[in-house]
Structure 1
Amino acid sequence: MASYGVAEAKNNFTHLLDRVQEGERITITKHGKPIAELSRVAVPARLSGEERLAFMKEFARRRDERPPLGMSAAELVRAMRDGDPE
């Protein structure tokens, strides 16, 4: 893992991001002590049509299991805006 001081990292930031995009991890140091680490973000896999449908059905099932709120969305927003305790 490569290590760069803050000033050097600042001056080479675009180059460091290119290296990170290729999978390398970069440590940023301040006065010789690690303070940050640059690493590639894990991109979530796309769901297939079947997986998406199963997710939506599970979401709807959980939504339907919840008890009703007892007020409309407009009433809820109004209560939140006006600072009502409920």
Structure 2
Amino acid sequence: MRTPETIAINDQLQIVRLQNTKFQAPNGYWLLDGYALHHPSLGYVSFDGETPFQPGGGKATLQSVMDLGGFVSFEGMYLVKSLQ
């Protein structure tokens, strides 16, 4: 069951296009393209704590997640920010 906090985060997630977007890496940065879920103040949804979740199937898969109400829980997940 989704908590009120989880519902609030899901409600603000948007599918965004990454175009040459940089994320911190151990010895520099990753340069990513594609689609990811982004929260306007918390950052990008991530499972590894380093790069955004970019599933096989791209935008269509992310839209399926959103169509089902988003994530049930954010436990064990991260929200990461890109480099400026």
TM-score bucket of the superposed structures, by smaller chain: under 0.3
Give the TM-score, by structure 2 length.
Answer: 0.20
Give the TM-score, by structure 1 length.
Answer: 0.20
- Higher Cα radius of gyration: 1
Higher strand share: 2
Higher helix share: 1
Q: Pick 1 or 2: higher relative contact order, CA cutoff 8 A, min separation 6.
A: 2
